[in-house]
Amino acid sequence: MNLSAALRANSLTMGQAARILDVDKSTVSKVCSRTYHKWEEKETELVDKLASLGYDKSASGSLSVNTNVLVKTRSVSLFFDLCDDLADPESSLSSSLGMAIGTAERGKTHAAKWYASENESAAYTLYVDGFSRVQLLRNICHELAGVRPFSFGSCVSTIAEVSKVSRRLIIVDEADKCPVPLLEMLRGVNESCGVPVVLVGEERLKAKIDAVPRLRSRVRKPLCVFDPINPVDVAVYYSEALGVSLDKALAENLSRRAAGGFRTVANDSLALAKIARASGLSAITPAMLRPAWIKHSEPEKPQ
């Protein structure tokens, strides 16, 4: 049984498991996402310790999905490289606006949140359509310093003070929804506070940036583009999230269904794991992709 399955079988959150196992929550998270150094050994140790404390191991043959898994696709690796470069204290603050774009469901948000959760220097915030500049900056200040200043000036001062202590990286998700004046405001904060900013959004973000020379000239190269997922990415996801191997034909089938979208792959894995558990199976089979299920699970086409 993997650690994620053990937590599910015993209805434990990562925080609860960390307290029971007397480890940091980050250790549990990294083992579950398989990013912990020599995670296999640590996973065995933690699962065995849970069992020694009386927690159930009887569900070892059932499938469960570790939704914390992040597949290091080429796009994700490029995004992480961009963030690492901007967050590096030795890196120049010239052209310190980063940009990552891609169609919906390509995994941009998952990658951005994962990076921020694993790097104390990074702060993730979501732009909500209709936010004023103060609302956005207050959220950024909360992520950076745990405070929500009342005024615009106080927000900028807070960001500047935090940035004096150490290089911080601000990741703004769904930045394609930002009006151009707000994007210009973020550029101003980037320059006046010496804080790098990564803008994440759909393709129209690039068009907005390109239309304003002051913005375009400050974007760090190369531009990060999230490509469609492919059968190899699907197979890796199922291996890491469910612990199962997919044959080439099944991986290609699931990749076609996803039409390049990571979210559909994740949703399909949850549905297939449920079918496997109901059938008493510990593997994903082609028979599970029966036409009735495919029709039921088919993502809606945009109007």
**H, E, C per residue of 83-146:** HHHHHCCCCCCCCCEEEEECCCCCCHHHHHHHHHHHCCCEEEEECCCCCCHHHHHHHHHHHHHC
Considering the domain 1-61 in this protein, what is its CATH number? 1.10.260
The whole-number pLDDT of residue 186 equals 97
The whole-number pLDDT of residue 240 equals 83
Q: Which residues have CB under 8 Å from 78's CB, separation 6+?
A: 222, 224, 225
The whole-number pLDDT of residue 70 equals 86
The tens place of each residue's pLDDT in the chain, 303 residues long, gives 678 777 777 767 788 888 889 998 888 888 887 888 888 889 889 888 888 887 765 554 567 787 778 888 999 999 999 999 999 998 888 889 999 999 999 999 999 999 998 888 999 999 999 999 999 999 999 999 999 999 999 999 999 999 999 999 999 999 999 999 999 999 999 999 999 999 999 999 999 999 999 999 999 998 999 999 999 999 999 988 888 889 999 999 999 999 999 989 999 998 898 888 887 777 888 888 865 454 444 444 444
Q: Which residues have CB under 8 Å from 295's CB, separation 6+?
A: none
Fold entry, domain 74-225:
Rossmann fold (3.40.50)
The whole-number pLDDT of residue 33 equals 79
The whole-number pLDDT of residue 296 equals 45
